[in-house]
Amino acid sequence: MIKNLLFMSFLLMSVYGTTQNNAETDLVAIETEEQAETFLASKKDKKNKIIVFNEEKHKSILAKELFKLSKGGVKTNRNDYEKTHYKVIDKKETPYYRVSYIYLDGNKLNLQEINSLRKTILMKYQDGAPFDFLAKQYAMYESGKKGGDSGWFKAGDHSFDFENDITNGAYNNEEIFSLDIPETNSYYVILNSYKPKNISEIKVLKIVETL
């Protein structure tokens, strides 16, 4: 609380011109996401923002350099017109999950047809058919074109209506199972194809300073 009050006092002095501060000085005072949000609200410059980097998704040179920094670390890029400062304000590892799935639409098939189709899919899989091949053949959604790969997701993303069933750890790795979500007329065959993975994420405050 005291730290935030001191930061607010510093920020107000900066905004109203009672003291001269450049971007580097502002960055030193900002230690938390709350302080970063307050700073952004006071400056109202669209170039300044908080960016979230995910180590699995973001592979740019800049992202790789930022992931090497510890929390509080700063990187500055400069050209003839401006300096861009990046400060890591949060860094943590988050469990992510990934499955392969075949979606069957309860709006187009009745439950008897769905269960018959799932039985066929499971038999073919047990006979050696690759799951991605089966997804391309049977999935009633665009994910089938990617072999049913969900990509990495974390609890709370709300990317899939089966999210909670996966993130609560109820199924073993490589386990294949059927899942019904009648509330949305969604029916699945799911292969728990990946082990949970801790993926590093950083929140970075970006400040652009005109030269």
Tell me the C-alpha to C-alpha distance, in Å, between residue 142 and each of 52, 69, 103, 104, 150.
27, 38, 9, 12, 11
197 contacts 40 by C-beta, under 8 angstroms: no
Tell me the pLDDT tens digit for each residue of 161-192: 999 999 998 899 999 999 999 999 999 999 99
Provide the 10 A C-beta neighbour count for residue 184: 10
157: left (phi over 0), alpha (psi -120 to 50) or beta: alpha
Rg of the chain taking only CA atoms, in angstroms: 24
pLDDT at 43: 82
CATH classification number, 98-195, choose in 2.40.170.20, 3.40.50.300, 1.10.287.70, 3.10.50.40: 3.10.50.40
Tell me the pLDDT tens digit for each residue of 102-113: 999 999 999 999
204 vs 86: CA distance, rounded Å? 6
The CATH 3.10.50.40 domain(s) of the chain lie at 98-195
Enter the pTM of the model. Answer: 0.73
